[in-house]
Every structure is written in C-alpha cells, then in structure tokens.
C-alpha cells in the first residue's frame, strides 16, 4: 500500500505505454520521469513495467541513500541485462553481482593500473592520441567535422590499448561505434520497450532493437574473440589486461575467470567508455562554439600558462578557468542524468514509501544540478561558480558525474584526463566556428 505513486498499471504492460510515450514527448527517459514526478508531486516515483517494479528516486538526500546503502548495490537480471551480457546472467563487471562483482571489479582496477592505466602513465597515451587527432584536423582543416565521432574513436583506442595492447582496425572501429550509437537510440536506462515487453521482439524485431542488439553482440563478440585468440597465440607484444586475465584463468584459482567472463568485461569497457567521454567533450566544444567570449577566455588562459607545449593532466590545477568551464559542462549538460539500474535486495523505505525487494531502482541525478537550493541561477551557464574567492578551483560535492559509493565509475581518471588534455590540446591550436552560419542548439537530441 505504501508503494510510491506513479502512472496507472494496465494489464500485461503496466505503465510501459505511458513511459514510452512521455519519453518520446520529452526527449529522454530522464525528462519523462521528471515530468511524472512533478505530476505526482513525489521524489520517489513508482511504476510497473510489464512484470518489473521500477522506482525512480530524485532529490539529493534520496539519491545519496541509494548510492550508499548496500541493499541497492546489485544489478537487475532482466531481459535487457541478459542481452547486454551476451545472453549470460549477471556477468562482466557492470552487470555482475555479489562476490563475482567484487573480485572482477578489483581485478580490473588493479591490473589495468599494472599495464599503465594510472594517472601519469595514461597521460602519454592520451597525448599520443591527441597528436593523431591534431594531425587529422590539420588534414581536414576548415572542412566541417563531427567531433563526437572522431573523439569516440580516440577514447576507445586509448582504452583498447590497455585492454588488448593495440588499436582496433579503423574500419572495424567505425562500424562498432555506429552500432553503439544505434544501440543508444534503441535502449534507455530502464531497458527500453524490449525489456519492458520482451515478447514484442517476435512482432517488431527491428523496431524493438532486438535485431540490432543481436547484430551488435555478434559483431562485437567477433572483435573481442579475435583479440583473445591473438593473445592465446602470443601474437601481441607487451603486457595488457587480456594477458593478465588469461594468466589468472590458466592458474585455475577461481572458477569465475573464464573466457566468456573476459569477453563481457571487455564489452563493459567498450560500452562504458565509448560514448560517455566523447559526448561530454562534444558538449564542451558546442558550448565553446556557442559562446565565442568563453572560447576566447579559455584560449587566452591556455596561451598564457602553457603556450605551445603539449598539455598534461597537472595543468588542470593551473588552468583554473578552463577546469571550471569543464566542471560547469558536467553540471549543465548531464550526460548520465540517471544512474543505475540497481536491484533492491531487501524491502526498504525511502521518503516514507515502501520499496519491495526485487524492484529496479534508478537515481535521477541530473535534476540535482538544477536545484536552486544547491546552485545560484542553475539555468545559467556560469564556470565562475567553480572558482572560489581566492581564485582557486572549487570542487562541488553536489556533482555526481561518476556516481558515488561502491559502484562508482572505475573509468573516471581516464575520462577526466582524456577530456581535459584533448579539449585543451585542440583549443590551443584551433578556433571553433560554425561553417554555415547556423549556431546549433544545445538541447541534447538523439542522432537520427
């Protein structure tokens, strides 16, 4: 009786129809849930999507409760999660649970560090990629360029270097990123239509995204399998994550170290790393394009403090305005506005509502960034809010870009260094203008 309020549940589909319709109308699932929370005057929104109970929590206090309470640490095992794990139950890191999750998350974090995924060593890999990017821009100078696409290629290449010791072939990478983009259209954080009404795959395999995810799984599996095979035949030079994982697997210490698990961990890295950092950088360049005044200020700071040399992560402490600008981009353009999904493991209560064990829980973090109680003029883009009276960078505890608690993003140092070094490295050499006189809108939209 104390289940959180929300739209009505229809037979078989529950509130799926309402959520789908509003997601289309409001442009994203996050905005649809915000609107529903407003309509039902609640910070804890309850729905039933087919057979799954879905709860969306908003408000900083509630969101922190979910991030920190152990009962919310697990991931669901629904139709979407199975597809996402190549047909397996809760494997890899992102969708693993319990001991398996702890062991593999720890193993990945520790061993990626061993192969150079640490703040300083990583820097030289990012700088190499920046030099390649600058070369590409030079060759294509003054032609219009889709920055998000070239940046996602860069970030995946850096990541893949640690995982598989080499770059992914260019044509394969382009194909893969194309599939990831389409995947982003077909699936939302609540899993999309296919998760909510799995039988729709028999009626509309194309529209529901089922054909796409099968194709994506097939193509991505073959790229990862090929990399694993090359490692088994010692065809790749040096040490990397796949070698370390295979060593652990061959040592037979833990039965969860299998080739299938390795494949899904690799998939987790590719999915988590491919679009997040590049989308954020895309918004940073868009803002610089829309505000030439801000762009000029950033350029002047870079020119005065680092001149012509390649930027490095340590510069982020000195380029205060640029770093504050990037923090404000994180706030103003929340690229992960809803964190999760989480599976609740015991009955719990939030804000006086009862959430039943087994419910899927999402955290609406994006709206915290526009809460007037926490930010002055939240709808105004103002890098200065991240600079204190003494002119130093101010870190806000109200930004949740990389999550919080035990499921916090393990890729944050790569993402932060990549975003900073690439942004500074490009603005150091180029001014960004529109090629056709039309300034693009900064309202996020899905690429069609």
For ligand HEM, the binding residues (CB under 6 A) are 93-94, 105, 159, 268-269, 272-273, 276-277, 280, 335-336, 339-340, 401-403, 407, 409-411, 414-415
User: Closest CB to ligand HEM among 208 and 277?
Assistant: 277
Long-range contacts made by residues 216-221, C-beta under 8 angstroms, separation at least 24?
Answer: 216/179, 216/180, 216/182, 216/183, 217/83, 217/86, 217/87, 219/175, 219/176, 219/179, 220/176, 220/179, 220/267, 220/270, 221/86, 221/263
Tell me the closest approach of the beta carbon of residue 326 to ligand HEM, in angstroms.
10
Pairing of strands 360-364, 52-57: parallel
CA distance 204 to 214: 14
Tell me the closest approach of the beta carbon of residue 113 to ligand HEM, in angstroms.
12
User: Closest CB to ligand HEM among 23 and 274?
Assistant: 274
Tell me the closest approach of the beta carbon of residue 134 to ligand HEM, in angstroms.
21
User: Closest CB to ligand HEM among 113 and 239?
Assistant: 113
User: Closest CB to ligand HEM among 176 and 280?
Assistant: 280
CA-closest candidate to residue 270, choices 440, 84, 400, 44? 84
CA-closest candidate to residue 163, choices 273, 55, 257, 29? 273
User: Closest CB to ligand HEM among 22 and 339?
Assistant: 339
User: Closest CB to ligand HEM among 118 and 206?
Assistant: 118
Tell me the closest approach of the beta carbon of residue 295 to ligand HEM, in angstroms.
21
User: Closest CB to ligand HEM among 4 and 366?
Assistant: 366
| In contact, 334 and 444? CB cutoff 8 Å | no
User: Closest CB to ligand HEM among 200 and 284?
Assistant: 284
CA distance 184 to 425: 28
CA distance 39 to 35: 6
| In contact, 57 and 66? CB cutoff 8 Å | yes
CA distance 245 to 108: 9
Residue closest to ligand HEM (Cβ): 411
Tell me the closest approach of the beta carbon of residue 339 to ligand HEM, in angstroms.
4
CA distance 93 to 161: 19
Tell me the closest approach of the beta carbon of residue 66 to ligand HEM, in angstroms.
9
Q: What are phi and psi of 348, to 5 degrees?
A: -145, 170
85's CB contacts (< 8 A; 6+ apart) are 91, 92, 95, 264
| In contact, 351 and 3? CB cutoff 8 Å | no
Tell me the closest approach of the beta carbon of residue 369 to ligand HEM, in angstroms.
13
Tell me the closest approach of the beta carbon of residue 161 to ligand HEM, in angstroms.
12
């Amino acid at each position: 009786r104390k289940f959180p309020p929300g739209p009505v549940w229809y037979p078989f589909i529950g509130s799926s129809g309402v959520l789908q319709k509003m997601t289309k109308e409001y442009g994203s699932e996050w905005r649809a849930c915000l609107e529903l929370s407003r309509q039902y005057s609640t910070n804890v929104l309850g729905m039933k999507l087919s057979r799954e109970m879905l709860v969306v929590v908003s408000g900083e206090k509630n969101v922190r409760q979910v991030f920190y309470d152990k009962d919310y640490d697990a991931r669901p095992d629904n139709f979407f999660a199975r597809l996402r794990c190549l047909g397996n139950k809760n494997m890899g890191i992102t969708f693993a649970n319990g001991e398996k999750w702890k062991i593999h998350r720890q193993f990945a974090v520790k061993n990626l560090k061993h192969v150079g995924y640490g703040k300083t060593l990583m820097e030289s890999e990012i700088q190499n990629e920046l030099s390649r990017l600058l070369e590409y821009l030079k060759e294509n100078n003054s032609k219009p360029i889709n920055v998000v696409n070239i940046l996602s290629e860069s970030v995946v290449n850096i990541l893949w270097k640690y995982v598989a010791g080499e770059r992914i072939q260019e044509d394969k990478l382009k194909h893969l990123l194309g599939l990831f983009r389409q995947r982003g259209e077909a699936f939302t954080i609540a899993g999309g239509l296919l998760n909510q009404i799995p039988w729709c795959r028999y009626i509309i395999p194309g529209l529901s995204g089922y054909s796409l995810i099968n194709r994506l799984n097939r193509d991505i599996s073959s790229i990862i399998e090929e990399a694993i095979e090359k490692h088994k035949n010692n065809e790749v030079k040096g040490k990397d994550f796949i070698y370390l994982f295979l060593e652990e697997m061959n040592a037979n210490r833990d039965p969860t170290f299998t080739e299938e698990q390795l494949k899904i961990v690799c998939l987790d890295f590719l999915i988590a790393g491919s679009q997040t950092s590049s989308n954020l950088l895309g918004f940073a360049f868009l803002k610089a394009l829309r505000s030439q005044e801000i762009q000029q200020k950033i350029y002047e700071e870079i020119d005065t403090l680092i001149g012509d040399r390649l930027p490095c992560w340590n510069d982020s402490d000195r380029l205060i305005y640029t770093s504050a600008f990037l923090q404000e981009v994180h706030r103003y353009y929340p690229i992960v506005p809803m964190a999760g999904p989480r599976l609740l493991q015991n009955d719990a209560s939030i804000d006086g509502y009862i959430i039943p064990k087994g419910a899927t829980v999402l955290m609406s973090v994006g709206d915290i960034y526009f809460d007037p109680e926490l930010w002055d003029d939240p709808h105004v883009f103002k890098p200065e809010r991240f600079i204190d009276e003494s002119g130093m960078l101010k870190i806000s505890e109200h930004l949740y870009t990389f999550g919080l608690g035990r499921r916090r993003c393990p890729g944050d140092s790569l993402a932060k260094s990549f975003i900073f070094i690439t942004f500074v490295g490009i603005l150091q050499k180029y001014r960004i203008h529109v090629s056709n006189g039309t300034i693009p809108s900064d309202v996020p939209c899905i690429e069609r």
